[in-house]
Structure 1
Amino acid sequence: MRPLTPANKKLSECARFLEIKIEGDATVKGISSNSRDLQAGEIFAALPGEKFHGARFASDAASRGSIAILTDAEGSRLIKEAGLNLPFLTVDNPRALLGPLASFIYGNPSKAMKIVGVTGTNGKTTTTHLLFQIFRAAGLSAGLIGTVGNQIDGEQFPATHTTPEADELQRIFAVMAERGVQAAAIEVSSHALAQYRVDGTRFATVGFTNLTQDHLDYHGTMENYFAAKSRLFGRDFASQGSIVIDGAFGKKLSEISPFKTKSVSSGKERADWHLSEAIPYEMGYKVSISGPDGISIQGEIPLFGDHNLENALLAISLAHQCGISVHDIKSALPTLRGAPGRLERIDRGQGFIALVDYAHTPDAVRRILSTARNLTKGKVIAVLGCGGDRDSSKRPLMGAALTEGADIPIFTSDNPRSEDPMKIIREMTQGVALSHDARVIVDRREAINEGVRCALEGDVLIVLGKGHETGQEISGTKHPFDDRIVLSELIHS
């Protein structure tokens, strides 16, 4: 995705921005860290990686018309050894400067609209989707960037990451600015913050959902994980924010934030935005919400689950910080819909409730199964696996959450990637007391079919872990697999 009008900066201007010197000059039309996506007249960002250096792809970038290379000293050495004769923008940490440079090249597009960044372990996708809907209901041209995909108003664009790479993100913002987008909501992952992907972005406000165990294979400790998330609450990014304080990390973040934030609570915490009342009804909740300065909102939120009340409250606080009126927020509430693959209902006329959800952390599994329990007086049947080549320390915790929350827990595969699916399941069940109703079925389709077979009138069957995903990665190959389609087919058959 690129703006219709190319960037028009000079290479010498880019060098001055980076506070370095360069010989010669040229017109810069853009910047890309992907040599296969690079277009003639653009700078190639050759970044150091975990497995190899991006300088290995400099020849490919040169063949596609790159006019200069942003890299570090090691990258410069490798490219010179390859015999390439291109100008270098050599800096100590090119990854940290890629976002700011891309923003500069594309004319600081984030300043042309109100951008809201939302971070946290669970709830980012739903919160940003709700915020996007509130923006549109208020009559704004709106954008959305996240796990399920990117949108400009109603037009969908595929997403490769929860948060795009720094150069791609600034290009998306440039397209949004070019199309007159007034407000945008973006999911900001911990990986993105640790890898400087949102650096160079100016946010109108930022939000925090919660922090529970995930991604420790990357961050190592919960302290490092929290530190990565906390980066979003820095003065380089924003001057205000909203924080859900129902968890310990939310409370801590509200205390250390360098700028004032609005507190949000769907529980018993005293907060700027809190639920005065939430009465369940057949479509969701009838709510009474209290906000700062005596704000009071009564209405219906057609979403199930206490966690979604939390997400909705955070979206409301962020929308209000963006200048959306209380009247427009209240008008939007009954029209809100959840994100794809988040407590998504599958209805083929069956006598039981069938749901698909993306829950893939211990806390999310626990919350979702609690919601499922509140929907039925019958049994809760749940199908769950854990992803391969990811944080293995959470597997027994997820297994425990499954067995504690479901009457019939069915252990299966998720995206095993390079790992043995049965090994993953053994780790999920380690130290877990399995009831006689528990099942282990490695094949995910067969596991879902067993759930359908077990479900009786009034029960709840929920398939967890993959949500909106349309493929299953096994031994390096991605096979077509959509829980929603598979569940629908098996119910129908």
Structure 2
Amino acid sequence: MIRPLTNFSLNLSEVAQLVSAENTEAIKKLAAGIEITGVVHSDSEVEAGDIFLAIPGTKVHGASFIAAAVARGAVAVVTDLAGAALTSALPTLVVKDVRSAGAMIASSLYKDPTRDLATIGITGTNGKTTVSTLLYQLFAGAGRESGLIGTIETRIGSEVLKSVRTTPEAPELQALSAVMRERHMRSIVMEVSSHALSMNRVKASHFAIVGFTNLSQDHLDFHKDMESYFAAKAKLFTYEYADLGFINIDNEYGARLAAQCEIPVVTLSRSNSAAQWHFTAIHTIASGAEISIRGNGGILIESKTSLLGGYNLDNLLMAVAIAHESGIDPVEIAALIPALTGAPGRVEPISLGQNFTALVDYAHSPDAVEKVLAAAREFTTGKVIAVLGCGGDRDATKRPLMGQALASGSDVAIFTSDNPRSESAAEILRQMTAKVDINEASKIIEDRLAAISYAVNLASVGDTVLILGKGHEVGQEVAGVITPFDDRLTLAQAIEAKK
């Protein structure tokens, strides 16, 4: 966990009042001289002076790790009634929602860092990473030092850090934002997941701008139904979190959100001229597309992009619109667009001189699979050959839908394994193909390396090979063991072996 160099502190009594601890009066009697200088939820990251968040877990209560936190220098604990019953080692603040309390403490400790920068949050089922990356690249191209927080990586200017999750837990997020402020970043661009909104990871954060890309079936193992999933996303578009929303209204959920949103909204669409930002022309060329974008106040931005697929143009449109709202000149935006590359593992080409197109993409929802295959169809003169698996210990209801999307969108569908985790890869494949009529050319090949090799060996002039599901990931998790596996490297090796 990265922390700012500046020293921050809060008295424990202030902390108790801030979170409305159930035992505030008792804490006041213990609080004399106790200063909180950090907030953590992981005992392994505790430093002297920290307050430890003992969060109730699905299997183990965080209070089980209080002794370890004490050994590393924790001076107080925040937990619920159940956690408080498990410890008497430190002054303990009792609250109903530990994550929410931790977010409020961290934001207060670091003096609301997200309000001191132009913080931009992007949410949606698909496109969060690409929009965030494109926007970060636009800021960088315009000479604006910015931070990036997302699925693939975290960046502070040019420094790159590994991301553990799409949206960090609140203590990490607030500390990271404070570091970015300390290093004079002007903006933070971050992905905001539905899990983060539901679990209060962005509680007490504030966004100058938030963006909604789309919503389609995913994460129903967590949210249970689409209404709950939508409600989680919609929370971001309230005055509690944000000042201004950018919403793509081509998706039914986007149109609904724009209609019910309590904050001011800027609408976007690929083809609906009633939207405030929309394309007036899209001409597909061999290297991408020539585009014309009409924006607020009659702004016209004409340029070329190497990004492939209509959904990537949607991502580009949002990045351009937010960049303009953030003060970047339209002429400069137009000049920067041709150099934008998108995010690693998002329709990423693997080019080694072969006579067919080879792409790696993170598509791991039915809608994403459908869209990336449709995009490939636009520029493919031969066969579309696609490899896809479904991850274990995740939303199982989307597996047959992903299988159907793969079969209907490709000429050759290859069903394979993708991070089965604790589940049986064979059972996942059975669920994935349960409603699919597999044609003669298509295959079920459980071993992912063999599946990729089969796809490559089948490819000929004019074909497109797509390896879907893992994108930027560099490991394969089977039965709790992660072994190195990078689709991009594996695909490149298969292409070399074919030559």
Q: Give the structure-1-normalised TM-score.
A: 0.97
Confirm or deny: 8 A CA contact 2:41 2:171 kept in the other structure: yes
Confirm or deny: 8 A CA contact 2:20 2:95 kept in the other structure: no
Are residues 1:24 and 2:31 paired?
yes
Distance 1:318 1:151 in 2: 19
Distance 1:321 1:89 in 2: 42
- Greater shift in the superposed pair: 47-56 or 127-136: 47-56
Confirm or deny: 8 A CA contact 2:134 2:342 kept in the other structure: yes
Match of 1:229? 233
Secondary structure at the aligned position of 1:239 is classed as: strand
Q: CA shift at 1:189, angstroms?
A: 0.6
Confirm or deny: 8 A CA contact 1:244 1:250 kept in the other structure: yes
Match of 2:415? 411
Are residues 1:37 and 2:42 paired?
no
Confirm or deny: 8 A CA contact 1:206 1:233 kept in the other structure: yes
Confirm or deny: 8 A CA contact 1:362 1:398 kept in the other structure: yes
Are residues 1:4 and 2:8 paired?
no
- Greater shift in the superposed pair: 456-465 or 281-290: 281-290
Distance 1:97 1:29 in 2: 16
Match of 1:15? 16
Q: CA shift at 1:295, angstroms?
A: 1.1
Confirm or deny: 8 A CA contact 1:246 1:269 kept in the other structure: no
Distance 2:489 2:316 in 1: 27
User: What is the identity, as a one-letter code, of the residue corresponding to 1:364?
Assistant: A
Are residues 1:384 and 2:388 paired?
yes
User: Residue 200 of structure 1: which of 186, 201, 204 is its match?
Assistant: 204
Distance 1:278 1:232 in 2: 31
Residue deviations 1:443-478, cap 9 Å, x none? 000000000110011210010000000000001100
Match of 1:95? 99
Confirm or deny: 8 A CA contact 1:241 1:318 kept in the other structure: no
Q: CA shift at 1:377, angstroms?
A: 0.8
Q: CA shift at 1:9, angstroms?
A: 2.4
Match of 2:283? 279
Confirm or deny: 8 A CA contact 2:18 2:104 kept in the other structure: no
Match of 2:401? 397
Confirm or deny: 8 A CA contact 1:275 1:288 kept in the other structure: yes
Match of 1:486? 490
Are residues 1:118 and 2:125 paired?
no
Distance 1:220 1:344 in 2: 32
Give matches, 1:336-355, under 5 Å: 336-355=340-359
Distance 2:375 2:435 in 1: 25
Report how many residues are paired.
489
User: What is the identity, as a one-letter code, of the residue corresponding to 1:50?
Assistant: T
Point out where structure 2 has 5 or more consecutive residues left out of the alignment: none
User: Residue 446 of structure 2: which of 433, 437, 442 is its match?
Assistant: 442
Point out where structure 1 has 5 or more consecutive residues left out of the alignment: none
Q: CA shift at 1:326, angstroms?
A: 2.1
Residue deviations 1:51-91, cap 9 Å, x none? 221111111101100011111111111113xxx1x111221
User: Residue 57 of structure 2: which of 28, 49, 55 is its match?
Assistant: 49
User: Residue 214 of structure 2: which of 207, 210, 213 is its match?
Assistant: 210
Distance 1:211 1:299 in 2: 28
User: What is the identity, as a one-letter code, of the residue corresponding to 1:385?
Assistant: G
Distance 1:172 1:461 in 2: 39
Q: CA shift at 1:19, angstroms?
A: 3.5
Residue deviations 1:427-458, cap 9 Å, x none? 11112121111101000000000001100112
Confirm or deny: 8 A CA contact 2:281 2:293 kept in the other structure: yes
User: Residue 453 of structure 1: which of 449, 452, 457 is its match?
Assistant: 457
Distance 2:182 2:83 in 1: 34
Distance 1:51 1:375 in 2: 49
Confirm or deny: 8 A CA contact 1:122 1:364 kept in the other structure: yes
Q: CA shift at 1:269, angstroms?
A: 5.8
RMSD: 1.1
- Greater shift in the superposed pair: 203-212 or 285-294: 285-294
Confirm or deny: 8 A CA contact 1:305 1:368 kept in the other structure: yes
Q: CA shift at 1:349, angstroms?
A: 1.2
Residue deviations 1:343-380, cap 9 Å, x none? 11111111111100000000000100011111211011
User: What is the identity, as a one-letter code, of the residue corresponding to 1:361?
Assistant: S
Are residues 1:168 and 2:172 paired?
yes
Match of 1:141? 145
Match of 2:243? 239
Residue deviations 1:38-62, cap 9 Å, x none? 1111100111112221111111101
Distance 1:72 1:420 in 2: 36
Q: Give the structure-2-normalised TM-score.
A: 0.96
Give matches, 1:281-320, under 5 Å: 281-320=285-324
Distance 1:98 1:269 in 2: 44
Match of 2:270? 266
Distance 2:66 2:340 in 1: 47
Q: CA shift at 1:330, angstroms?
A: 2.1
